[in-house]
Amino acid sequence: MKRWGMLILIVALTLGVAASALASGRRINCYSPQSNHLCPFWGASYSGMRFQTNIEQSRIRYAGSINEVEYYNFNGALGRYNNYRVYLCHTTRTNLSTIFGVNYYAAPVLVASRSAFTIPGARGWFGLKMTRKYAYDNVRHLLIEIRWEGDNAVSVPIYINNPLSGNRRVWAVNDPNAPSGRGDGHPYYTRLNFVYYTAVEPTSLGRVKAMYE
């Protein structure tokens, strides 16, 4: 009876951990806020943008459904961007090609589409307003693509990391459908929100069992 009672308690506690995880989700910050740049929301100088950036798998280290991507508004500028679209995609490329289509591992998934997207006029995190979740596999890198055309002539600087090796972002101005652009090594200070945990944490059962040893 003691053995069965211990087994029941272990299962109950494990399920409790899983239920808590499912309710809480996960938020992961990638890279550091070391400088700022106007790309991809460079509305004061350009009338449109096609932009890609990647996040290495080693910076994420988690598989699950992403339901929001956030950037950090450096100075509180209020920007509005028309014909706005966001795509997510896996990529095997750490060094991005300046030819946008080469960077896709599979067909990109449209996760946000709005006739107008407004970045709030407040310093701090803002979401890209995803309306569709994206299943990230934690095997490949994550590619984020933003396109817009037409704006209120305001640029919003956002936090970026100091440059790393290769191209960590690629952009083309004035044409959201441009086939290629220019690139450099700056990744973006990014916050990924996962809607739920995909599994019980690997060490959870071990912690519970340890209570009885």
Instruction: Please give the residue range of the domain that contains residue 9.
Output: 1-25+204-213
Give the pLDDT mean for 130-136: 97
Q: State residue 92's pLDDT score.
A: 98
Q: Give the amino acid at 167.
A: N
What does each C-alpha distance from 30 to 54, 84, 130, 131 come to in angstroms?
Answer: 11, 24, 18, 22
Give residue-wise pLDDT tens across range 185-211: 999 999 999 996 444 443 333 333 323
Examine the domain organization and report whether 4 and 99 are in the same domain: no
Structure token pair of residue 150: 């037409």
pLDDT band for position 3 (cuts 50, 70, 90): low
Give residue-wise pLDDT tens across range 34-52: 999 999 999 999 999 999 9
pLDDT, mean over the chain: 87
- How many separate domains does the chain show? 2
The secondary structure element, H or E, covering residue 12 is: helix 2-24
Q: Assign 41 to helix, strand or coil.
A: coil
Examine the domain organization and report whether 94 and 174 are in the same domain: yes
Give residue-wise pLDDT tens across range 137-149: 999 999 999 999 9
Q: State residue 4's pLDDT score.
A: 52
Examine the domain organization and report whether 167 and 211 are in the same domain: no
Examine the domain organization and report whether 10 and 64 are in the same domain: no
* CATH number of the domain bearing residue 164: 2.60.120
Give residue-wise pLDDT tens across range 80-106: 999 999 999 999 999 999 999 999 999
Give residue-wise pLDDT tens across range 10-26: 444 444 444 444 445 89
Examine the domain organization and report whether 49 and 115 are in the same domain: yes
Q: How do beta strands 35-37 and 158-160 pair?
A: antiparallel
The torsion angle over the Cα atoms of residues 73, 115, 98 and 156, rounded to 10 degrees, is -20
- In the predicted structure, residue 131 carries a pLDDT above the cut 90: yes
What does each C-alpha distance from 63 to 24, 55, 143, 188, 208 come to in angstroms?
Answer: 15, 14, 15, 20, 24
Examine the domain organization and report whether 102 and 78 are in the same domain: yes
Q: Kindly give, in sequence order, each residue whose CB lies less than 8 Å from that of residue 176, ignoring residues fewer than 6 positions away.
A: 48, 49, 50, 83, 85, 147, 148, 149
